[in-house]
Homo-oligomer: A and B are copies of this chain.
Amino acid sequence: MNADKIPDIIIGRLPIYLRALQRMSAQGMKTTSSQELGDYVGISAAQIRKDISQFGEFGKQGTGYSIPFLMDKLREILKVNRMWDVAIVGLGDMGHALARYGGFGERGFRVAMLFDSDPAKVGDKVGSFVIEDISQLVERVRTCKIKLAMVAVPAASAQEVADKLVQAGVKAILNYAPTVLSVPEHVHVQHIDPSTHLQRMTFYLD
C-alpha cells in the first residue's frame, strides 16, 4: 500500500466506517455486510467495497466482514492501533469541552497538554491537567514529541498559534477557530465548522 496513491477522499471515509463498526461491536454484532454498513453510514455498498478493497481483501463473498477483524485492519491503516498524545491550545469554552471530551480514548487519542496565553488561566487544572503558559509551548511540545494539536483560540490568534505548533514539530492540527491556517505542505489541517454541517442539512429543508 502506498499512502500517496490513495485519494484523500477515501481516507476521509475510513474513520466513519471505523466509528460505525465500533458502534456495531458495542451492540454485540460480530459480522456485517457492505450493504448493512452502508445503510448505517449513508454510503453505497459498492463505494464501501471499493474503498476497503484499496487496502486488501478483508471481506468474504457471502459472509461479509468480520467486525473485529475489519476494525483491527482500519485501526492499523489509520495508525490508531497506538495512542496519540494531543495538545490543546486555548482553554475557553471550546478548549474546556475538548479537554473533558469522553470520546478520545477508545479512538486512539489522549489529551496530554493544555496551553493558554491568559495569565488568569495558567496554573488552573482541567481534569488532571494543569494549563501551561503558551510561551512554553514550543519547548514542551517538542520535548514530548507531540505530533497532534487542537486549536481552540480566537480567530485573530490562530495563525500565530499554528506557527508555534509547526515550529514545535506538530504534523496535524484540528482547527476550531473560524479562520484559515497557512501551514507548510507536510502539516495537515482539518477544520471543525458547525455552519458547514448545518448547511449540508438545510439543502433538504423547505
Quick one: closest B residue to A172, CB to CB?
Answer: B201
Quick one: closest B residue to A103, CB to CB?
Answer: B178
The answer to whether B98 touches A96, judged by C-beta atoms less than 8 angstroms apart, is: no
Contacts of A147 in B (CB 8 A): 205
The answer to whether A171 touches B205, judged by C-beta atoms less than 8 angstroms apart, is: yes
* Max count, chain B CB within 10 A of own CB: residue among A77, A100, A198: A198
Select the stretch in A13-21, A61-69, A130-138 that faces chain B.
A13-21
Q: Does A38 contact B (CB under 8 A)?
A: no
Q: How many residues of A contact B (CB 8 A)?
A: 59
Give bound CA distance, A9 to B38, whole Å.
Answer: 13
Q: Does A202 contact B (CB under 8 A)?
A: yes
Give bound CA distance, A144 to B15, whole Å.
Answer: 37
CB distance from A142 to the nearest CB of B (A): 16
List residues of A (164-183) whose CB comes within 8 Å of B's CBs.
171-172, 174, 178, 180
Residues of A participating in the B interface, judged by any CB pair closer than 8 Å: 3, 8-9, 11-12, 14-16, 18-19, 23, 42-43, 77-80, 84, 86, 92-94, 96-98, 100-104, 107-109, 147-148, 150, 152, 155, 171-172, 174, 178, 180, 188, 190, 192-205
